[in-house]
Chain A
């Protein structure tokens, strides 16, 4: 008896939910824009959405927070399923692969009419990452790259000029040798490189070094793996030699990722390393005694620095229910002040970069590096490829393989993924 009652109640309850849901949708005249925003932009996403809704009473922004784990795949599933949000915040490195599915809205017509979006004011690396088949599929709002960080106190102690960070690989190595004191109770090493932990941390440094040396991971038509060609192998050799031949990187390198390197820097065990601007705050907080120096990333003699471009952009799926309303919000978010407020690191336009928020002199090197930054290749198997490179570089560091042999092996495995 009671069982029947429970079932009836449940049925009635779900029926009312059903009726309530559809009734509400039919009654609503305003457009609802569902926006997937990453949780690290919270609460700025909520604040900006509220501000927008105040000025645009006919549009309701429904902020749904996403988490980093598995996000790349989750977005892919969403845009392919046809049931999509209206706006998605995506890592700029993913945009092209989404555009390739044919499920993204090309934004060229909107951009042509827009008074806010000026393609020429965007960082070229970021803007180019939005192009697929000659059309624009996203609007970048955040762009960042690594810069070079060093400990000025340790420079002075080693007899180096604390205002002259290394500009070339030779200078980097020379300084590193002078800074290294491998003996004694508290050994000090000249430079930190990523050799373990998070795969992405090593890749972000190493791929940039390959680019600086004129090499690449994959050919420009994405048809051929080039990581075992001389320019790339030379860069990999220099990277691993810092540990194996010159011994100016700490012996714990194979266990160190970005966070571990920063901790070593904070406790004075390494004198130089490269990282994003997010490194500044924890270094000051945990060791206020360190006088931080900044510079562009050192490049091989006569060559230009390079860095991996990180950043975020908005995309609008083809299946989005309220495209026009979605675009008005994207356009509003791209206004200089809003973009400058929303980004976690730096904005993607020159105008927004002039905001007072970025005038801190400690940011200068990071801002100066962004023109040299570009995106990693938009390949479907890229994540798996990075894990292959990571493993083979570790094999070099362990002395199991030469750089050439390791990169040949990596190329063979990566070719299978193209």
Chain B
């Protein structure tokens, strides 16, 4: 009991206390009276729902592409190719670069007037790019998702690579004796063997996606016209730009509940699958 005291105190101070302060903040007026006004105002605020939808597209798009790209790269790097160690290290660079540095660099590359990416697209015969990919309603989210995928796919690849080491090689040998193709091996051995790893990654990517503001904060601040304003950024703005702490607290509790439901769903899905096995 005594040994867990420091940890318990730490958890109380830095996790439980802020959480409950936040809940209290979202439910009380500045004078201390209990109120549901902040929640009802939030639910009526159309910009909150617009932000939620943008968040779903941003996180959903990012997670799917991160998983597909990361898993492919992970599997590819497991094969005996030349300079494998070097390639594995290089692939990790985007993940290691600090988020704010990466995001700012990408923002400049996307800029319509001095961005190298826009230059490239214009030279390829897409004059549309002159306006800048971050300032057009149709391209801003894909452009941001691309950066997020670029930033995180290496993490998925590394985790998949680790997961692959745990698959019994005799399974592949047996399959090859039976004359199976690469795609058969992938479908019936590799992916099922990676399921635990993939579910964990999916969970982490979703949580990180919902909580991440670095990339969007540094690149568009939610613009143009709030078209990339994800919910965490909405909370940030409400709290630290407008000093509306009660409303910001209500929104963050809302975000917290959405994430909790999502995680519960994942775990349920995963647990159910496990029982079947």
A residues sitting closer than 8 Å to B (CB atoms) are 70, 73, 187, 195-197, 250-255, 260, 263-264, 267, 269, 381, 383-384, 387, 391-392, 394-395, 397-398, 400
Contacts and interface: CB of A to CB of B under 8 A. Distances in A.
Given A252-B111, A252-B113, A397 B224 contact: yes
A196 B224 contact: yes
User: Lowest 3 A-B CB distances belong to which pairs?
Assistant: A254-B135, A252-B112, A394-B225
Contacts of B130: 187, 251-252
Contacts of A197: 221
B3 interface: no
Contacts of A267: 114
Nearest to A392: B225
What DSSP secondary structure best describes chain B's contact surface? loop
Given A250-B113, A391-B226, A400-B225, A255 B237 contact: no
Interface in B123-159: 130-132, 134-137
Given A264-B113, A398-B225, A400-B225, A252 B132 contact: yes
Contacts of A397: 224
A184 to B, nearest CB: 12
A195 B137 CA distance: 14
B137 A255 contact: no
Nearest to B245: A73
B137 A400 contact: yes
B135 A383 contact: no
Contacts of B226: 391
Contacts of A73: 243
Given A187-B130, A250-B113, A383-B242, 18 more contacts: A73-B243, A196-B135, A197-B221, A250-B112, A251-B112, A252-B111, A254-B131, A255-B132, A255-B134, A383-B241, A387-B237, A387-B241, A387-B242, A394-B225, A395-B225, A398-B137, A400-B137, A400-B225
Nearest to B243: A73
B240 interface: yes
B209 interface: no
Contact of A391 (B225, B240, B243, B244): B225
B99 interface: no
A251 B223 contact: no
B224 A398 contact: yes
A264 B136 CA distance: 20
A254 B242 contact: no
Nearest to B134: A255
Given A252-B132, A254-B132, A255-B112, A384 B242 contact: yes
Contacts of A251: 112-113, 130-132
Interface residues of B, number: 23
Interface in B68-115: 111-114
The interface centre, meaning the residue of B134, B220, B225, B242 with most chain A CB atoms within 10 A of its CB, is B225
A251 B237 CA distance: 27
A253 B220 CA distance: 13
A394 B223 contact: yes
A196 B240 contact: no
Interface of B: 111-114, 130-132, 134-137, 220-221, 223-226, 237, 240-244
Given A196-B224, A251-B130, A384 B241 contact: yes
Contacts of A254: 131-132, 135, 223-224
A195 B224 CA distance: 9
Nearest to A189: B113
A392 B241 CA distance: 18
Contacts of A269: 113
B167 to A, nearest CB: 47
Contacts of A260: 111
Nearest to A73: B243
A219 B241 CA distance: 24
B227 to A, nearest CB: 8
Contacts of B112: 250-252, 255
A161 B163 CA distance: 71
Contacts of B132: 251-252, 254-255
Nearest to A401: B225
Nearest to B219: A255
B5 to A, nearest CB: 13
A196 B136 CA distance: 12
A50 to B, nearest CB: 35
Nearest to B127: A251
B9 to A, nearest CB: 15
A112 to B, nearest CB: 36
A252 B134 CA distance: 9
A392 B244 CA distance: 21
Contacts of B241: 383-384, 387
Nearest to A396: B225
Nearest to A384: B242
Given A391-B225, A391-B226, A255 B135 contact: yes
A252 B133 CA distance: 9
A261 B248 CA distance: 33
A398 B225 CA distance: 8
A264 B244 CA distance: 36
Contacts of B224: 196, 254, 394, 397-398
A313 to B, nearest CB: 21
Contacts of A384: 241-242, 244
B228 to A, nearest CB: 11
A269 B115 CA distance: 13
Contacts of A255: 111-112, 132, 134-135
19 contacts: A195-B135, A196-B220, A250-B113, A251-B112, A251-B130, A251-B132, A252-B135, A254-B224, A255-B112, A255-B132, A255-B135, A267-B114, A269-B113, A383-B241, A387-B237, A387-B242, A391-B225, A398-B137, A400-B225
Contacts of B240: 70
Contacts of B113: 250-252, 264, 269
Contacts of B114: 263, 267
Contacts of B237: 387
A350 B240 CA distance: 38
